[in-house]
């Protein structure tokens, strides 16, 4: 048994009927190398069964504490019914990117069953060119981006193969009194740590006061994001869209402009959001406030837990000129990083430990029913470096990987970019009320990238990534 950290618990408490806090990982798999062997849902279950020994979070079961006296705990090594957790799916014809995206939207639209380990996987058949897709759906309380990336690497043949017959003894169910006593002892430990947390906070405040950097209003007042079509009470339905860029072209563009790939990703998002704001709101006259996840634990062996915080970046959607937009995005990102480190990257994570469960759950549930803008941010935008070498599942080649985080209360869009070998793969998640078609967003991102390249004197005709699905 182990207790959820404060930040893990917050991601659990923030879930509501219209706010699903699971993340998605999508792997496209080529079957041509199997030499005629079949690879269906039963074969996939066998592969995962043989890897359960190193997929620790797949064996965790959530245990609530009586009277919500403390954060829940994970019961480790519980029974795992792979017939339940691993499910077949078949795409509609013609089985292209759009049909796959629609299926993933359906998968994302339902919450995970908390009485079971908090994950599901779908083996999707019917893709064009004889490919299949594997969609992993895992609760954010289990793993952040770094942990889930490491988990994916363990699930693929990037590490030594397991013994498929290996079994695990099931941990006994904890007794009620045991849970209460453990919670009481842990509360005492937390009280002992409180002076250290307060010192960490005061040190951050002292660094901010002494800093000679002028912080922008967007960063010093993060609870005033501008109203936009993005921000409203969420619907339970989710819609999904993807697109692929050649990583070499992205690197070429970032090097030519003297900015980071993350700066360029944010600039592409800014251009796309400007297009959408003009389309849906009729104006784009104020920077949007994006939360960019930043990890503070990059342990390659970590496969669970959440060690990240949201860095607030003012995204200059009001700027029409593509190169000026890149410049301002770069400056905003630099300022955000400096502010983030001044305050202390672990500040929110450390204080979340002391959040009382029952009031927190009630607050998040109430907020999920309010029809208005998110008071903290407009949307999350993530850029995650993925594997640099091809993975395999059951001997079959993984040709593409996509990833996306959840929609948070009052924010109807999540943009996540995940690099894989020679690809930069873009994923967009929305609810049913934000845009008419989520592919509007991916198309706008591709167009924004093309406009940046043209303005920089590079070719605006984007390379076709032969290893990826055709664009929707």
The CA-CA-CA angle for residues 89, 90, 96, to 5°, reads 120
Say if CB 174 and CB 63 are below 8 A apart. yes
Say if CB 262 and CB 293 are below 8 A apart. no
* Cα dihedral 370, 374, 379, 380 sign: negative
Say if CB 28 and CB 425 are below 8 A apart. no
CATH classification code of 1-165+173-472: 3.30.559.30
Alpha-carbon span 275 to 272, nearest angstrom:
5
Say if CB 463 and CB 246 are below 8 A apart. yes
The pLDDT assigned to 370 comes to 86
pLDDT tens for the chain, residues 1 to 472? 899 999 999 999 999 999 999 999 999 999 887 777 888 999 999 989 888 888 999 999 999 999 999 999 999 989 899 999 999 999 999 999 999 999 999 999 999 999 999 999 999 999 998 899 999 999 999 999 889 888 888 887 654 444 555 666 777 888 999 999 999 999 999 999 999 999 999 998 888 778 766 555 544 445 578 899 999 999 999 999 999 999 999 999 999 999 999 999 999 999 999 999 999 999 999 999 999 998 888 888 899 999 998 888 999 999 999 999 999 999 999 988 888 888 888 888 899 999 999 999 999 999 999 877 677 899 999 998 888 999 888 788 999 999 999 999 999 999 999 999 999 999 999 999 999 999 999 999 999 999 999 999 999 999 999 999 999 8
The pLDDT assigned to 207 comes to 85
Distance of CA 328 to the CA centre of its chain: 25
* Cα dihedral 132, 106, 241, 96 sign: positive
**140 catalytic, yes or no?**
yes
Q: Where do the structural domains in the chain lie, given as residue ranges?
A: 1-165+173-472
- Radius of gyration of the chain from its Cα atoms, rounded to whole angstroms: 22
The pLDDT assigned to 158 comes to 53
Catalytic residue among 22, 70, 139, 140: 140
By CB atoms closer than 10 A (0-12, 13-18, 19+), residue 178 is exposed
Q: In sequence order, what DSSP letters do the residues of 205-250 get, joined into one string?
A: HHHHHH--S---HHHH-TT-PPP-TT-SPPPS-EEEEEEEEEHHHH
The pLDDT assigned to 163 comes to 53
The pLDDT assigned to 161 comes to 40
Alpha-carbon span 437 to 240, nearest angstrom:
9
């Amino acid at each position: 048994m182990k207790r959820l950290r404060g930040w893990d618990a917050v991601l659990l408490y923030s879930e509501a009927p219209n706010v699903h806090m699971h993340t998605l990982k999508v792997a496209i798999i080529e079957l041509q190398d199997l030499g005629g062997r079949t690879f269906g849902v039963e074969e996939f279950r066998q592969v995962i069964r043989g890897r359960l020994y190193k997929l620790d979070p797949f064996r965790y079961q959530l245990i609530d504490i009586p009277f919500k006296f403390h954060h829940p705990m994970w019961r480790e090594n519980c029974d795992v019914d792979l017939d339940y957790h691993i499910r077949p799916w078949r795409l509609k014809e013609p089985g292209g990117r759009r049909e796959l995206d629609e299926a993933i939207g359906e998968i994302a639209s339902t919450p995970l069953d908390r009485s079971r380990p908090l994950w599901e996987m779908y083996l999707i058949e019917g893709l064009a060119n004889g490919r299949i897709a594997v969609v992993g759906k895992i609760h954010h309380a289990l793993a952040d981006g770094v942990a889930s990336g490491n988990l994916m690497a363990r699930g693929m043949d990037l590490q030594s193969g397991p013994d498929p017959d290996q079994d695990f003894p099931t941990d006994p169910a904890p007794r009620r009194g045991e849970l209460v006593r453990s919670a009481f002892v842990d509360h005492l430990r937390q009280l002992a740590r409180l002076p250290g947390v307060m010192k960490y906070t005061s040190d951050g405040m002292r660094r901010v006061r002494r800093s000679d950097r002028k912080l922008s209003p967007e960063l010093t007042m993060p609870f005033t994001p501008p109203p936009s079509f993005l921000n409203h009470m969420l619907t339970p339905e989710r819609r999904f869209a993807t697109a692929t860029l050649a990583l070499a072209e992205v690197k070429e563009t970032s090097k030519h402009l003297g900015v980071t790939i993350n700066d360029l990703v944010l600039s592409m998002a800014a251009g796309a959001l400007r297009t959408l704001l003009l389309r849906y709101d009729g104006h784009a006259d104020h920077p949007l406030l994006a939360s960019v996840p930043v990890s503070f634990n990059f342990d390659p062996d970590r496969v669970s837990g959440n060690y990240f915080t949201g860095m607030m970046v003012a995204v200059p959607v009001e700027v029409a000129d593509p190169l000026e937009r890149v410049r301002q995005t770069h400056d905003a990102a630099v300022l955000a990083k400096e502010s983030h480190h001044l305050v202390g990257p672990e500040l929110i994570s450390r204080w979340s430990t002391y959040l009382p469960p029952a009031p927190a759950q009630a607050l998040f549930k109430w907020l999920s029913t309010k029809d208005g803008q998110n008071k903290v941010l407009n949307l999350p935008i993530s850029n995650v470096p993925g594997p640099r070498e091809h993975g395999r599942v059951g001997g079959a080649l993984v040709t593409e990987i996509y990833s996306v985080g959840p929609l948070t209360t009052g924010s109807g869009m999540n943009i996540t970019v995940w690099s894989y070998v020679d690809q930069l793969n873009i994923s967009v998640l929305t609810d049913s009320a934000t845009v008419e078609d989520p592919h509007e967003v991916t198309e706008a991102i591709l167009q924004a990238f093309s406009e940046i390249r043209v303005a920089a004197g590079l070719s605006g005709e984007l390379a076709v990534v032969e290893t990826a699905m055709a664009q929707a």
